[in-house]
Amino acid sequence: MRVPSRSPGQQPGPAVTSTAPARRAPTAVGRHPVPGQPDLAAYRAAVAELLLEVGALADAASAAARQVLLDQRLREPAIAAVLNATPQGFVGARETLLLELARHQADGRGCAPDLTALVRIYLLSRIDVMWWRDTRAFLTDNEVETSTDLVDLEWLRRRGLLAFRYREQPATVLGRGLRAVRRRLLPDATPRTAGLRFRRARREVIALLNDIGREFAQAGPPAAPPLWVTSLARSAEHQYRLRRLGYAAMVPSGHCLGWAADVEMAWLGRFGLRDALAELLLARQEAGEINVVDEGQTWHVCLAPAARRRFRQAYEAEMGV
């Protein structure tokens, strides 16, 4: 079974070896390469090979050799085809990656556990921006809060129309204090996450997460925890805010385009369900429905354009629109 590429050294979680029962396969919307489009299977395989070499050159003394390696390997046809198709083009994507690596070394605070993870997250997330390159990003917090392309999750949650859970960030010092107390008293009751900065998402993404949530619920025991979403649409303004705090928040990002979400993985490992969700997500990636990036505690999920219409129709059917 293929898993998102990762280095053979420090790893965010255990390998995927699911014992979950067989489940419905996602509709194949992009299993084979589309003529004239980059071969994503070849791209992911080339990135996996590159990561093995980067892992061997991850120390500070190997910075020059690592840059030579990246210069050479990023030009390989399988990788260059995807980078060329992003809004930045090959040169812009390459320069951005080198700057991200320099930034990671300079501050040492990034949420990416090592340089190999940073390269993995950056390169695999370029699939998102290639897919949605013609979509305008949400630039400011206000644009996210007011866009008619996004739906407020709270209205849906109160009506029992969501098959996943989420938690908002506390807005006050008192709220943060109460959450800290609950975490000390019940450390495993919920994921260790700050919560959603924006509880808004595209209709198609909501339908996708509902579909994943229902399938995940069927894969586990009756008392199993639900799918937990930790991030949805974000503004570019917030993305830069995260970067200033030291997080590996990529720019441009599928979150700022509204087509990506992050789902909790590490917390599910406490219940023996991490591998079941991983297998489910990877099957959907294999079918061309989503792009998946292993970010450690969470996995990043982006809806593929080929699946957009189906999930828009699913949303409208579920919500009675």
pTM of the model as a whole = 0.83
Dihedrals phi, psi of 51, to nearest 5 degrees: -65, -35
Across-strand partners of 260?
A: 302
Cβ neighbour number for residue 25 with a 10 Å cutoff = 10
Instruction: Classify residue 169 as exposed, middle or buried by CB count within 10 Å of its CB (0-12, 13-18, 19+).
Output: middle
Phi-psi region of 238 (alpha: psi -120 to 50; beta: other; left: phi over 0): alpha
> Sheet of 298-303: strands edge to edge?
229-231, 260-264, 298-303, 290-294
Nearest-angstrom CA–CA distance, 282 and 109: 29
Q: At what angle do helices 40-55 and 63-73 cross, to 10 degrees?
A: 160
Helix (H, G, I), strand (E, B) or coil at 294: strand
Across-strand partners of 31?
A: none
Instruction: Classify residue 222 as exposed, middle or buried by CB count within 10 Å of its CB (0-12, 13-18, 19+).
Output: exposed
Q: Going residue by residue through the chain, which has 321 residues, state the pLDDT in tens, using 9 for 90 and above.
A: 344 443 334 344 444 433 333 444 555 554 566 667 899 999 999 999 999 999 998 887 888 899 899 999 999 999 999 999 999 999 999 999 998 888 775 444 445 558 899 999 999 999 999 999 999 999 999 999 999 999 999 999 999 999 999 987 656 655 555 655 566 665 565 677 767 889 999 999 999 999 999 999 998 888 889 999 999 999 999 999 888 887 778 888 999 999 999 999 999 999 999 999 999 999 999 999 999 999 988 999 999 999 999 999 999 999 887
Counting every residue, how long is the chain?
321
Domains of the chain (ranges; CATH) run: 34-131 (no CATH), 132-321 (3.30.1380)
